[in-house]
Structure 1
Amino acid sequence: MTELQRIALATGVELDVVIAGDPANPPVFLLHGFPESHRTWRHQIPELTRDHYVVAPDQRGFARSSKPEGVANYTPDKPVADLLALADHLGIDRFTLVGHDWGGAIAWMAALQNPQRIARLIIVNAPHPLVFQRSLFDDPAQREASRYISRFRDTRIDQGLVGAGLEKFFASTFTQHLVSAVAGEDKAAYLDEWGQPGAMTAMLNWYRASAIVIPEDGTERPVWLDAPFPPVTQPTLVIWGMRDKALLPVQLALEAYVPDLTVVRIEDGGHFVPWEKPEAVTAAIRGWLGKRS
């Protein structure tokens, strides 16, 4: 794997970033989610660098990147700003954006707000903002599957997420969402990243800063759920591990909001499909990009 570079951004944070491939090739940015790092893409990066310029940051709050204090520093507009500042720093105007989990949430938002910068969009097991919020009100199974968000928002859990608490988090909360086992150096890498000072609080602050509503009895339905919503204008590929326990197939009801949509379902993949089923994900990305180059 290419070495991490430390880059200070105009947004006031420093990110560790993998930069690989020929800068003359088309740029692709890869955004990881919770509770990971650039390592989400460890199988895709070498393949993509064959004909793309690849940029994969550790986003704010994760691994050894900056961890500004306070929930307000993790509202979605902040990592979107980091993304654009990183592209500016590298002299990149338009690029393909790939996102998984929280990285995918940021990718949806960035693409909707910055069509002049983001040429193509690739989403991996990350819900569209309207479809997700609507499903939390209208789909009881998705609402139940998302209860963990309320738990993650409880700041009382942070004090237990150190030392042996990280091992417990790995063995319970994390592994229950895995299709395949994680051990050896991969497990060690997770525990190392989570064990960085302030990392677990910073990572969980992404959930705390989000405007997503987990409805309880009597929660009023937001008016915007039934109002017009702007379409994603970019050609969009959605890759979905169908054994995802947190994000159910209802999230694939995207046609009304993504006019130029391709969906690739990976039936035996779970939520962490980029490394659980790396060949299928890489093939889907390369095949789709190849048709659009």
Structure 2
Amino acid sequence: MPTETLQRIALPTGVELAVQIAGDPANPPVILLHGFPESHRTWRDVVPDLAGDHYVLAPDQRGFAGSSKPLGVEHYTPDKPVADLIALADHFGIDRFTLVGHDWGGAIAWMAALGRPDRIERLVIVNAPHPLVFQRSLFDDADQRAASQYITAFRNPDFEQFVGRIGLSQFFDTSFANHATPEEIAAEKRVYLGQWRQEGTLTAMLNWYRASQIIVPAPDENPSRPAYLDAPFPPTQMPVLVIWGLKDTALRPVQLDGLDAVVPDLTIERIDAGHFVPWQNPQAVVAAIRKWEAR
């Protein structure tokens, strides 16, 4: 039975991350990055299988759950969690590793793969759009643009006041209601509300959206198109597995279109799940990873 612990690790990037650690350090390392508005528990039904023959690290990313929540939007630009990731690997003496990311964790995984290919041996993305494909879709695909208007809402500086009026419980229900069944989320509600009630957590989580440079046009807007959307884009250099829950209402399947143009070594596994794939269908996630590893 693989061992499992949760440690708080101080990093030279100025934050402390709560990190779930499982498996034998002698085994191949894999780091799992969660997204919004979750924690390492995103991977609760994936870690036990992977830990059987991997050394698994699953941190709460900065701003979330048990990790540091620095004040100020500037602390949540994508380069900051990428730096946390590399510093975390360094802390454990890990050189190259498999990186798995879902949602915002997947966004950071894409950025790490593009910026630090010397450290990322293999990349697994779970319902997280490639930065170029996502930005392009927000200009070119009406359905994706409409589905992404929540980003504009989260960036509103008054959003915390809105949550204060409706309460965290209602915010939990609305956060997950369009993406999972009541039965799927009921068991975790107490855990997540406990995490979100920690001082500064809601603002820290929302600051990930506020710090992002992604442009989200209004549905009826006709903004100027950034030139880089139609310019050459650097390809990934490692094997990439993209696992996609096709019932995702926030990130439409258009995110898979044209992905092979910027990901030369690409495998796509389409599975039956909504946005929160790692706990809606963990068996399919594990099966896809195992099949890909065995290539």
* 1:95 and 2:100 are equivalent in the alignment: no
Q: Distance in 1 between matches of 2:166 and 2:215?
A: 31
Quick one: which of 63, 66, 73 aligns to 1:64?
A: 66
Residues 178-207 of structure 1: CA distance to partner in whole angstroms, max 9, x if unpaired?
256345541111111111111010000000
Tell me if the contact between 1:32 and 1:103 (Cα under 8 Å) persists in the aligned partners.
yes
2:157 corresponds to 1:149: no
Contact 1:179–1:270 (CA<8 Å) still a contact in 2?
Answer: no
1:273 and 2:258 correspond: no
Match of 1:238 among 236, 242, 248: 242
Residue of 197, 215, 219 corresponding to 2:223: 219
Alignment-derived partner of residue 31 in structure 2: 29
Alignment map for 1:162-173 (pairs within 5 Å): 162=164, 165-173=167-175
For structure 2, list consecutive stretches of 5 or more residues without a partner in the other structure.
Answer: none
Count of residues in correspondence between the two structures = 290
Matching residue's letter, 1:67: K
Query: Which residue type is aligned with residue 122 of structure 1?
Result: V
Q: Report which stretch shifted further, 217-226 or 157-166.
A: 157-166
After superposing the two structures, state which structure 1 stretch, 56-65 or 215-224, moved more.
Answer: 215-224
Distance (Å, rounded) in 1 between the aligned partners of 2:285 and 2:76: 28
Amino acid at match of 2:120: I
* TM-score of the two chains, using structure 2 as the length reference: 0.95
Task: Write the deviation string for residues 133-173 of structure 1: whole angstroms up to 9, x where unpaired.
Answer: 00000000100000000000002011343596111111223
Correspondence for 1:282 among 241, 266, 286: 286
Aligned twin of 2:118:
116
CA contact (8 A) 1:32 1:38 kept: yes
Flag the 1:135–1:120 CA change in 2: closer, same or farther, 3 A: same
8 A contact 1:133–1:212 mirrored in 2: yes
CA distance in 2, matches of 1:24, 1:246: 38
Percentage identity across aligned positions? 67
SS at 1:79 equivalent: helix
Q: In structure 1, what is the equivalent of residue 266 of structure 2? A: 261
Paired position in structure 1 for 2:41: 39
2:129 corresponds in structure 1 to 127
1:125 Cα deviation (Å)? 0.1
- The residue correspondences of 1:175-214 to structure 2 (distance < 5 A) are 175-179=177-181, 181-214=183-216
